[in-house]
Amino acid sequence: MTQDVDIVVVGAGSAGLAAAHTTLSLGLTVQVLEAKSRIGGRAFTDEIAGMPWDRGAYWLHDAHNNFYATYAAETGFTFDRMMRSQYFWSAGAWADDALKLDRDAFYDAAFDAVDRAGAAGLDIAASEVIADHPRWRPMFDSWYAALSGAEPEYCSTLDQSRYADGENFRVRPGYGALVTEYGKGLPISLSSPVDRIRWSGADVRVETAKGTLRCRAVIVAVSTTALIRGGVRFDPVLPSAVCEAIESLPLGTAEKVAIAFDRDIFGLPDNSHVHSEHATRETLRFQIKPGGHAIAVGYLAGRFAEELEAAGEPAMVDFTERKLVEVFGSDILRARVGTAATHWRSDPLIGGGYSYAVPGAAEQRKVLRQPVGERIVFAGEACALTAFGTVHGAHRAGVKAAQNAAAFIRPTVKA
């Protein structure tokens, strides 16, 4: 595989696909190299017991400002609004409204404190501005990890305050299925991991086991943790400022465990959200009957998720089933027909869920998205300033990266 193209894109997740589409729209040639045997990256719709479920990205965030909402409508993918029933299990029963309001009031105050600190320009650990609470603080910390990938002590207030969200939708056939549809027809080489990018000469050489591609610019749409682990080597090495940015924006841990049943044994509305009161961070949250299917999906996040994933899939499934039984009783397991768990953290090509900025590093997203030597441009959700951690944020970053790369090749292109 030795050929010349204008731009090589490394990675066929949302950012890489967007970069390829944009490159072609600008009249340039492109080749996408994907190490996995599929496209989509962290957007992956799988099946369990014949029913679809999203192993990765699930919610179509900020739908009114999300490329994929428009694309879904254009391609016939249906979606539901995020509206869902919330159930909180406490002391052996469903909590009453007063208890839920008390919990939510603490959550709202905690998020407000983080946003105020960020708005004031403070780039410190979110944990420094969140009040303590004997009952709700451990629960809030685990919820924060579910949203951010890591607990408050690891995350920047300034970075969090920049995140923009709105109404969220759910793609009925699966978000991963939608992203896969978006990638159809693009020049993609699967099972083609990149070993080294040589960028000191007149052109860039992208080396793979299948051969070397010569190009005029390369877009690297690979997760930050995969880069930290040395998944792609650069010759010469990247500038220290870029390396610092990558190190400062690691992926947090977000894993899922799906349990499929032969019928609806829950008696709850579709897409219900179920959470149990807990006194530690060792917990998870359930989505019950996503898309109307007889599945319970447990969401694990943060350091506890990392520990449990490292213990192996049996441990992940066992913990999830025990939490499910606490609420619904052991009889429900008689209707179980399948289990599955994700392993994003240990996946050498991914390395986690979504990026977070460590305290003091909020500006590093801006550094990472800057072109390197008019040869290399990084893309991905970690480069999204206000939509990090999302599929549409990765798409925006991919579009911008392709515009920047094209500007090297054709200076009249507006970056």
**185 with 209, same domain?**
yes
**327 with 270, same domain?**
yes
- Angle between helices 14-25 and 391-409 in degrees, nearest 10: 40
Least confident range from 167-181, 236-250, 331-345: namely 167-181
pLDDT score, position 218 = 98
pLDDT score, position 409 = 87
Question: In this model, does residue 297 exceed pLDDT 80?
Answer: yes
**176 with 323, same domain?**
no
**Alpha-carbon distance values, 98 to 83, 101, 107, 230, 353 (Å):** 21, 5, 14, 50, 34
pLDDT score, position 157 = 98
**CATH number of the domain within which 322 lies:** 3.90.660.10
Query: Which of residues 341, 374, 391 is at a domain's end?
Result: 341
**90 with 207, same domain?**
no
**What mean pLDDT do residues 205-231 have?**
95
pLDDT score, position 167 = 87
Task: Specify if 165 maps to a domain.
Answer: no
Question: In this model, does residue 378 exceed pLDDT 80?
Answer: yes
Structural domains of the chain, count = 2
**327 with 266, same domain?**
yes
What is the amino acid identity at position 231?
A: G
Task: Specify if 164 maps to a domain.
Answer: no
Task: Specify if 346 maps to a domain.
Answer: no
**What mean pLDDT do residues 44-70 have?**
95
**What mean pLDDT do residues 7-21 have?**
98
pLDDT score, position 3 = 67
Query: Which of residues 292, 307, 341 is at a domain's end?
Result: 341
| Three-state DSSP string of the chain | CCEEEEEEEECCEHHHHHHHHHHHHCCCCEEEECCCCCCECCCCEEEECCEEEECCCCEECCHHHCHHHHHHHHHCCCEEECCCCEEEEECCEECCHHHHHHHHHHHHHHHHHHHHHHHCCCCCEHHHCCCCCCCCHHHHHHHHHHHHCCCHHHCEHHHHHCCCCCCCEEECCCHHHHHHHHHCCCCEECCCCEEEEECCCCCEEEEECCEEEEEEEEEECCCHHHHHCCCCEEECCCCHHHHHHHHCCCECCEEEEEEEECCCCCCCCCCEEEEECCCCCCCCEEEECHHHCCEEEEEEEHHHHHHHHHHCHHHHHHHHHHHHHHHHCHHHHHHEEEEEECCCCCCCCCCCCCECCCCCCCCHHHHHCCCECCCEEECCHHHCCCCCCCHHHHHHHHHHHHHHHHHHHCCCCCC
Task: Specify if 350 maps to a domain.
Answer: no
pLDDT digits over 100-112, tens only?
Answer: 999 999 999 999 9
Task: Specify if 335 maps to a domain.
Answer: yes
Question: In this model, does residue 399 exceed pLDDT 90?
Answer: yes
**141 with 264, same domain?**
yes
pLDDT score, position 299 = 97
**148 with 260, same domain?**
yes
pLDDT score, position 413 = 61
**Alpha-carbon distance values, 85 to 163, 271, 278, 290 (Å):** 25, 7, 20, 12
Residue matched to tokens 């807990």: 278
Q: What is the pTM of this model?
A: 0.95
Percent of the chain predicted with pLDDT > 70 = 98
Task: Specify if 405 maps to a domain.
Answer: yes
Cα distance between residue 150 and residue 331, in whole Å: 34
**333 with 363, same domain?**
no
**243 with 266, same domain?**
no
Domain range for 40: 3-48+55-61+70-75+172-250+355-409
Q: What is the mean pLDDT of the chain?
A: 95
pLDDT score, position 314 = 98
**359 with 246, same domain?**
yes
Query: Which of residues 311, 341, 371 is at a domain's end?
Result: 341
Contact 349, 37 (CB under 8 A): no
**What mean pLDDT do residues 296-306 have?**
97
Phi-psi region of 354 (alpha: psi -120 to 50; beta: other; left: phi over 0): beta
Task: Specify if 160 maps to a domain.
Answer: no
> Which two three-digit tokens encode residue 217?
């610019």
Task: Specify if 166 maps to a domain.
Answer: no
Least confident range from 1-5, 208-212, 225-229: namely 1-5
pLDDT score, position 341 = 98
**144 with 271, same domain?**
yes
Beta-strand pair 93-94/169-171 = unpaired
**CATH number of the domain within which 383 lies:** 3.50.50.60
pLDDT score, position 346 = 97
**What mean pLDDT do residues 201-225 have?**
95
pLDDT score, position 118 = 98
Beta-strand pair 45-48/59-60 = unpaired
pLDDT score, position 315 = 98
**370 with 321, same domain?**
no
pLDDT digits over 112-129, tens only?
Answer: 999 999 999 999 999 999
Cα distance between residue 124 and residue 179, in whole Å: 35
